[in-house]
Structure 1
Amino acid sequence: MQIDIRAKGFELSPALREHAERRLGFALSWAVYDVRKVAVRLYDINGPRGGEDKCCRIQIALPGTSDVVIEDTEADLYIAINRAVDRAERSLARRLERQREHRHARQPVVEITDDDSAEEFEQRADAGVFH
């Protein structure tokens, strides 16, 4: 899983980068085979004026479907990262579960009985006849 972290409007500190990487690593480690790339964009919307303007946007690229995109805005960037990562983990779990359910629903069910020979089974499978 490739993680790309970039800051816009301020300098990305090593501590902030490490925090984001660590949180993403823990939260998404279970989906390492499903996730190709994670892009994290950190913004300071209002600049030096202050307020709840620190934004964390996480985009998770998945093969064969649209990306999971989560955004959270807080006064503290560490909290914005934590909340966005938690929400991204839940959204990713839901998306992958739906994909798996959809994939399994499309698979034909083939019953094999004791009196079926391998040759008869293959003939029925090739013909699309299942019982």
Structure 2
Amino acid sequence: MRMTIQANGFEMTEALRAYTEQRLASALGWAREHMHKLAVSLSDINGPRGGVDKRCKIQVQLGGGREVIIEDTEADLYAAIDRAADRADRAVVRQVERTRDFARERIPAQLDNMGSAAFGEVQERADDIPPRVR
């Protein structure tokens, strides 16, 4: 898995880079085998004017061409990273579970026919039961 972190509108400090890597590793570390690429974009929308304008955008490339994109905007960049990491974790969990739901094995035709034959026998026995008396 490749992880890229880039900053737009401000200079990336080593502490911010380390925090971002650590936070994403704790949130998405379990999914390393499912991820092909992880890209994080940190930006300051308003620049020096201030306000609720620190954005963290996380893009996770999963197998099968699926992609999870999460954006969060906060006044504090560290809070934006935390929220985006938590949301990305939940979104990746959902995507992986969907993949697992479709990966179930199909029942062989012989067993399927036996099951429907047994259902037919139960239905025939049910027809022999007299109707309820009112």
TM-score class normalised by the smaller sequence: 0.7 to 0.9
Q: How far apart, in 2, do the equivalents of 1:109 and 1:22 lie?
A: 44
Report the secondary structure of 1:24's partner residue: helix
Report the secondary structure of 1:108's partner residue: coil
Report the secondary structure of 2:78's partner residue: helix
> Is 1:78 equivalent to 2:81 in the alignment?
no
Structure 2 counterpart of 1:24: 24
Shift of 1:44: 0.4
Pick the structure with greater CA Rg.
2
Structure 1 counterpart of 2:107: 109
Q: How far apart, in 2, do the equivalents of 1:22 and 1:130 lie?
A: 52
Query: 4+ runs of 1 displaced by more than 3 Å?
Result: none
Q: How far apart, in 2, do the equivalents of 1:130 and 1:19 lie?
A: 56
Q: How far apart, in 1, do the equivalents of 2:7 and 2:85 lie?
A: 16
Q: Encode CA deviations 1:75-113: one digit per residue, 9 max, x unaligned.
A: 000000000000000000011001110221xx3123xxx
Shift of 1:66: 2.2
Q: Encode CA deviations 1:45-97: one digit per residue, 9 max, x unaligned.
A: 00000000000000000110321000000000000000000000000001100
> Is 1:130 equivalent to 2:82 in the alignment?
no
Structure 2 counterpart of 1:95: 95
Report the secondary structure of 2:95's partner residue: helix
The two structures, once aligned, show a CA RMSD in angstroms of 1.0
More helix by share: 2
Q: Encode CA deviations 1:6-54: one digit per residue, 9 max, x unaligned.
A: 0001101000000000011111111111011100000100000000000
Q: How far apart, in 2, do the equivalents of 1:4 and 1:37 lie?
A: 8
Structure 2 counterpart of 1:34: 34
Structure 1 counterpart of 2:125: none
Q: How far apart, in 1, do the equivalents of 2:107 and 2:19 lie?
A: 46
Structure 1 counterpart of 2:63: 63
Structure 2 spans left out of the alignment, 5+ residues: 112-134
Shift of 1:130: 2.7
